[in-house]
Amino acid sequence: MSIAHSRPQHAHGRPAKRFQILFQHPAAGGMILMLAAALALLVANSPWAGHYTAALAYSLGGLSILHWINDGLMAVFFLLVGLEIKREVINGQLSTWHRRILPGAAALGGMAGPALIYLALNQGAQGQPAGWAIPAATDIAFALGVLSLLGSRVPISLKVFLTALAILDDLGAILIIAFFYTSQLQVSALIAAAAVLALLVAMNRLGCRRLPWYLLVGLVLWGGVLKSGIHATLAGVLLALTIPHDADDSAKSDAPTSPLLRLEHAIAPWVGFLIVPVFGFANAGVTFAGVSPQALLAPVPLGIALGLFVGKQAGIFLAALATIRLGWAQLPSHASWRQLYGVALLCGIGFTMSLFIGLLAFPDDAALQNGVKLGVLLGSLVSAVAGAVLLRSVPARSK
């Protein structure tokens, strides 16, 4: 090959390599989600706001585009969450009780603290107690993205702690959705969904390892759950729990043999770089027309913002402090108390799951949904900045 011929190819290959490196960065998913949310805010407050709203309301196959995103695409997001939970419990950071104690206690504190603050601010005639769970969830992509931007300043043990905590936090959010945000049940559809789930369990027990069969039956399960009154996205979690997994297969392997790992590797980029940003773009668009400081002091946005910023950090740090002081767990290796507190601050980033629960809490009230978005955006932004600043101010320790 001649030099003249090779140079253009090298020039063309360099941008592709840069994009590949960019998308492999741990913060990439969180950064793209932030850009999607910022774009949604820009569009919602521009002359194109009407087109934005009309496009999301457009009906396709009996459901609006927004419903297809929130009930369909997000089922794949929940499928990935379920796969991560199962993997971590079988042979990951949650595989033993010793590993579960500290992140488990922190996750419980991190759900209770925000809920109590929200409820305290939403009593009386003006209060909306149905939104108590909105600030209880952590956005793992955002939090880990901010943490990864700090590089070696944060010890690996704290990144593992945050990952385990966020996964348990997601599990708590899933249970909350199932038990507290389920509409009136349709018994016949629920029975049909249960029968399909039993089929998936039988496939697992009989040694079926062909992912296409699981995905096909899982699609039927999604339809049954959608009709049953339970939120359709939970079908993704149920499907994930039936996917076979080999405990000795490594999640770091480039060619995993476990069906669970193969599916997780296949859908993770789509979830991180397409599904979650699309969800963020479709749901973060809040108009600031007529928004005043007084509007931010309304019970719903104030309860959410303070729940995320104050409730999360207090609940997580105090629960972790009590667990360690009682001798049930140890401070993550090479980490200081200030760094642990910084991670607790980052857990106040509740973007994706908080917006999702907000839609379930107030499904037919656009004004309250607007308040949810304001509270989530404000609480998440302040938590991200405060956590990053604190962690950056702590001197790096030897690993």
3-class SS letters over 185-238: CCHHHHHHHHHHHHHHHHHHHCCCCCHHHHHHHHHHHHHHHHHHCCCCCHHHHH
Indicate if the pLDDT at residue 396 is higher than 60. yes
Rounded to the nearest 10 degrees, the angle between the axes of helix 211-228 and helix 259-270 is: 60
Q: Which tokens belong to 148?
A: 């990864």
Number of H helices, E strands in the chain: 19, 2
Q: Is the pLDDT of residue 6 over 50?
A: no
Gap between the Cα atoms of 164 and 103, Å rounded:
6
**pTM score over 0.75:** yes
- DSSP letter (8 states) at residue 331: P
Condensed to tens digits (0 to 9), the pLDDT of residues 364-386 reads 888 898 899 999 999 999 999 99
Q: What would the two tokens of residue 151 be? A: 């590089």
Specify the amino acid at residue 364: D
> Which tens digit of pLDDT belongs to each residue from 51-98?
999 999 999 988 899 999 989 999 999 999 899 889 988 888 788 888
Q: Model confidence at 286, in pLDDT bands (50, 70, 90)?
A: confident
3-state secondary structure of 256: coil
pLDDT of residue 27: 64
pLDDT at 9: 47
Mean predicted lDDT score pLDDT of the chain: 86
The percent of residues above 90 in pLDDT, for the chain, comes to 51
Cα–Cα distance measured from residue 177 to residue 283, given in angstroms and rounded to the nearest whole number: 18
Note the helical H segments in the chain.
3-24, 28-44, 49-57, 65-67, 74-91, 97-121, 140-149, 156-180, 187-205, 211-228, 234-242, 259-270, 276-283, 293-296, 299-306, 312-325, 337-346, 351-361, 366-393
175-221 pLDDT per residue, tens: 898 888 877 788 999 999 999 999 999 999 999 999 999 999 999 99
pLDDT value of residue 2: 39
pLDDT band at 287, cuts 50/70/90? confident
- pLDDT tops 50 at residue 4: no
Residue entry with tokens 């997601």: 170
User: Between 112 and 399, where is the model more confident?
Assistant: 112
